[in-house]
Amino acid sequence: MTRLDLLSTDVEDSLRDTVRSLLTARCTPDRVTAVYDGDDSVAAPLWQALVGELGLGGLLVPEEYGGAGASAREAAVVLSELGRAAAPVPFLTSAVVATLAVLPSGDSDLLGGLASGSVTAALVVPLTAGPSFSPVARASAGRVTGAVPVVAGALEADVLLVPASDGLVAVDPASSGVVVSPVVSLDMTRQLADVAFEGASGRLLPVGPDAVGAALQVGAALLASEQVGIASHCLEETVAYLKERRQFGRVLASYQALKHRLADLFIQVSSAEAAASYAAAVAAAADPDLPVATAVAQAYCSSVAVRAAEEAVQLHGGIGMTWEHPTHLYLKRAKADQLAFGSPDQHLSALAELVDLPA
Amino acid sequence: MTTPSAEDTTADDLERRVHRLLEEHPPSTTDRLAFLRARFDAGLAWVHFPEGLGGLGLARHHQARVDALLRQAGAPDNDPRRNGIGLGMAAPTILAFGTDEQEERFLRPLWTGEEVWCQLFSEPGAGSDLAALATRAVPDGDEWVVNGQKVWTSAAHEARFAILVARTDPSVPKHAGLTYFICDMTDPGVEVRPLRQITGEAEFNEVFLTDVRIPDAYRLGAVGEGWRVATATLNNERVAIGGGADRESGMVGVVARTWRECPDRRTPALHARLLRLWVEAEVARIAGERLRQKLAVGAPGPEGAAMKVTFARLAQELSGLEVELLGDDGLRYQDWTMRRPDRVDFTGRDAGYRYLRAKGNSIEGGTSEVLLNIVAERVLGLPPEPRADKDVPWKELPR
């Protein structure tokens, strides 16, 4: 366990500012809420802006393939901002997980497309699949068969990446034998799809047997930063609201019962921030502590994000329960995120083995 | 990089100084106290202190290297846990507010441990509301006459000196009428009585002050400035608190060891609780490390308060879990005999002791409730608690 820098660098701060101002302008809460009513007109232009104007599609793609060659730390910064905005874009699924899964293949066409933003990809696994996931779909002689439920990023993808025993099979979602059925999702800001293959043909990308697990590992480690974004946003909004809202002739923030509740939440959110930045730093440094750091970050941050969103609903009172107020976007995202890339229970079980605390 | 940075030069220079000290005073043949005094005089006691006062005026982080080199060479240390109040609280306060004479007189024997210090702050009627304290100091010539009662004084029975806050002007509001003193614990008016606590031992004391005479030369800071000086002392206390930097250090390490050693006592429910607490302790460790990195680049804030709340809660939950985990053996208690330990020990003795001692963690050094107020007000900017007593002369306050 080496000492890693847990504070953000100037470069990271500047990336944060850039992403935040783009999201503030183009990802307003009312337009995100509209996604639930079938108007997803915010999503595609937003994703195009993030990959086209900011080049975030290729953030983790090495420079030799036309990417930015950045590390997991920068990806964590982006994810934390996307969490703060509950942004409906496939950054985590395409630019992080799918990209990392493809990377060992050295497939310059696909990596070049991801880097330029012309290709969006999705790894075809259930959103709940954690680092120890084993494939559901089967591939033989380039033909893929099987059904995979609740896949994130599949609706936006130009390329579906199906984990198979001898590598990854890249399948065009428009080809015959592929059915991508949208799921009415608890969290519509990351809408899921049930994906079925019936002898669909694809191109085999040579990646080792560990590539998918490793990509999901980093995905889980960095999801923690998205969860921190959700949690910090909920805390900040709630603090601001309680400083304004008056009942019984006083602002709510002057009641000690509420002050202590917010202070407790602050302690948890800032602890989650530390856990997430450690996980990102460990992933960036390819430090052997990654499995432990990931399990710790997921077990902790996913619950803190849910807690912060739940507290936001309760402390906003009636308004927090309305469709009009954006808090529900965060509650739904936080609750779905809690199950993503392995549930807290699965991460705790993994941890038990990693740190020798057997059942 | 071909030119050595200022940092490297400092590190090299420090190493040379350490080697010179070790050559001139070989630890194997030098008396312990003589070595410690020589180390102080070489500026290697606390390198962030000024030259001539045990330091070299360097950044605090250089100390770790000095300590490591001396440890490797088998040199004695000053047993810092025996004089925690002196090193962590009295010394920085003397440095910040003391006169040249006070610095000369007190800092060297404080650092070497020849003179242990204690803290006379809390009173039976002034705990969280420290500024309401009632111990009086009345001027008499060039001396002060002090009367009152202090409590929760660890190491009072070992201490040669105390840092003391007393009321010198009851006619002004509570914060304005305080003055900070150094009190000689050998004064005949000082009576120390052990205060037995729930563990059976007496780590703390009650201290009764009856016509104690303190020379004005032992005053730290101006008359009426005691609150400002005390605040500086207490800020240093919070910096000093916080877990170690290694994974599984502190209470979580103790409980994890017990878990590994007692396979027959494991149940799924205990396992789930242990893992949850292990994660929280690990996150607290990382958050502590991050706070240290923040402080090192000079951005101190009230975040230390948040760390202490977490530390207390985890120590309490973990030590409670351990008693349950031990089952039948959790019901045995090592020893209820009254004793007066010479140092604070959170993780020592047996599980029952640790469980009971941890209850103090959310009370000592600021209760968790007060610390949550600090987080709410100074970090989140929420309105302060109403303070009916703020502008009222102290003598008119209801007591």
Question: Residue A324 pLDDT > 60, yes or no?
Answer: yes
In contact, A158 and A202? CB cutoff 8 Å: no
Asked if B224 contacts B178 with a C-beta cutoff of 8 angstroms, the reply is yes
Residue carrying structure tokens 């969490």? A83
Mutation for testing the A interface, residue in B286, B309, B322, B369 having most A CBs under 10 Å: B286
Interface check for B299 against chain A (CB to CB < 8 A): the answer is: no
Q: Is it the case that residue A232 has pLDDT exceeding 80?
A: yes
The reply to whether A296 touches chain B by the CB within 8 Å rule is yes
Q: What does residue A290 show for φ and ψ, rounded to 5 degrees?
A: -55, -45
The amino acid sitting at B146 is: V
- Is A357 within 8 Å of B247 when comparing Cβ atoms? no
A94-153 pLDDT per residue, tens:
999 999 999 999 999 999 999 999 999 999 999 999 988 877 777 777 789 999 999 999
Decide if B213 contacts B145 (C-beta within 8 A).
yes
**Distance from chain centroid for Cα A221:** 10
Q: Which among A157, A63, A348 has a CA at the least distance from the CA of B273?
A: A348
User: In B, which residues are within 8 Å of A251 by CB distance?
Assistant: 383
pLDDT band at B291 (very low <50, low <70, confident <90, very high): confident
User: Which uninterrupted H or E stretch holds A44?
Assistant: helix A43-48
Task: Tell whether A348 is within 8 A of chain B (Cβ).
Answer: yes
At position A220, the amino acid (one-letter code) is A
pLDDT value of residue B2: 46
pTM of the model: 0.91
Q: State whether ipTM is beyond 0.90.
A: yes
Helical ranges in B25-123 per DSSP H:
32-41, 63-72, 84-85, 91-97, 100-112
| Amino acid, res. A237 | E
**Predicted local confidence at residue B341, as pLDDT:** 87
- Residue A230 structure tokens: 């959700």
Catalytic residue among B237, B317, B322, B364: B237
User: With an 8 Å Cβ cutoff, are A253 and B306 in contact?
Assistant: no
To 10 degrees, the CA torsion angle through B326, B330, B331, B333?
A: 150
Closest to B66 in 3D by CA, of B86, B95, B100, B43: B43
Contact yes or no for A273/B306 (Cβ under 8 A): no
B280 in reach of chain A (CB within 8 A): yes
Model confidence at B215, in pLDDT bands (50, 70, 90)? Answer: very high
The answer to whether residue B383 neighbours chain A at the CB level (below 8 Å) is yes
Taking the Cβ of residue B278 and every Cβ of chain A, the question of whether any pair is shorter than 8 Å is answered with: yes
Residue A1 in this model has a pLDDT that exceeds 60: no
Q: Which of A7, A266, A271 sits opposite B379 (nearest CB)?
A: A266
Give the pair of three-digit tokens for residue B169: 């002007």
Q: Measuring CA to CA, which residue among A118, A169, A166 is closest to residue A148? A: A169
Residue B54 near residue B108, CB atoms below 8 Å: yes
Q: How wide is the angle at C-alpha B273 spanned by C-alphas B272 and B274, nearest 5°?
A: 95
What would the pLDDT profile of A58-69 be if each residue is shown by its tens digit? 999 999 999 999
**What pLDDT, on a 0 to 100 scale, did the predictor assign at position B243?**
45
Q: How far is A129 from chain B (nearest CA, A)?
A: 21
φ, ψ for residue A236, nearest 5 deg: -60, -45
What mean pLDDT is reported for chain A?
96
A4 to chain B, minimum CA–CA distance in Å? 9
Residue A264, min C-alpha distance to chain B (Å):
7
Given a cut of 60, whether residue A341 has pLDDT beyond it is: yes
A260/B372 Cβ within 8 A: yes
CA dist., res. B291 & res. B310, Å (int):
13
Please report the sign of the dihedral spanned by the C-alpha atoms of residue A337, residue A222, residue A240, residue A89.
Answer: negative
Count Cβ atoms within 10 A of the Cβ of residue A298 and give its class: 0-12 exposed, 13-18 middle, 19 or more buried.
buried
Give B-chain residues touching A348 at CB under 8 angstroms. Answer: 272, 275-276, 279
Burial of B235 by CB count in 10 Å (0-12 exposed, 13-18 middle, 19+ buried)? middle
Whether chain A has a CB inside 8 Å of the CB on B287: the answer is yes
A27 vs B: CB within 8 A: no
Give the residue on A whose Cα is nearest the Cα of B383: A254
Q: Which of A256, A266, A278 sits opposite B380 (nearest CB)?
A: A266
Q: Which of A20-29, A202-211, B258-267 has the lowest mean pLDDT?
A: A202-211
Residues ≥6 apart with Cβ < 8 Å to B234: B89, B366
Whether chain B has a CB inside 8 Å of the CB on A283: the answer is no
**Which residues, at least 6 apart from B242, have a Cβ–Cβ distance to it below 8 Å?**
B288, B291, B304, B307, B308, B311
Buried b (16+ CB within 10 A) or exposed e, B76-94: eebeeeebbbbbbbbbbbb
**Terminal alpha carbon distance of chain A:** 25
Which of A225, A247, A294, A296 has the highest number of chain B CBs within 10 A, making it the mutation to test binding with B? A296
Percent of chain B with pLDDT over 70: 95
Quick check: B375 contacting A, CB < 8 Å?
yes
pLDDT bucket at B77, cuts 50 / 70 / 90? very high
B237 is catalytic: yes
Query: Of residues B320 and B1, which shows the higher confidence score?
Result: B320
Give pLDDT, residue B238: 55
Distance from CA of B133 to the nearest CA of A (A): 24
Task: Select the residue from A10, A270, A354 to test the B interface by mutation, using most B Cβ atoms within 10 A.
Answer: A270
d(CA B279, CA A295) in angstroms, rounded, equals 9
Q: Does B128 touch chain A (CB under 8 A)?
A: no
CA distance A97 to chain B (A): 25
- Segment B113-155, tens digit of pLDDT: 999 999 999 999 999 999 999 999 999 999 999 999 999 999 9
For residue A294, the model assigns a pLDDT of 98
pLDDT at B242 exceeding the cut of 50: no
Contact A253 B383 (CB under 8 A): yes
Which amino acid is residue B78, in one-letter code?
A: N
Q: Which of A263, A271, A355 sits opposite B287 (nearest CB)?
A: A271
Q: Are B223 and B181 in contact (CB under 8 A)?
A: no
pLDDT at A169: 94
- Mark yes or no for CB contact B293/A7 under 8 Å: yes
Contact yes or no for B376 and A260 at CB 8 A? yes
Band the pLDDT of B301: cuts 50, 70, 90.
Answer: low
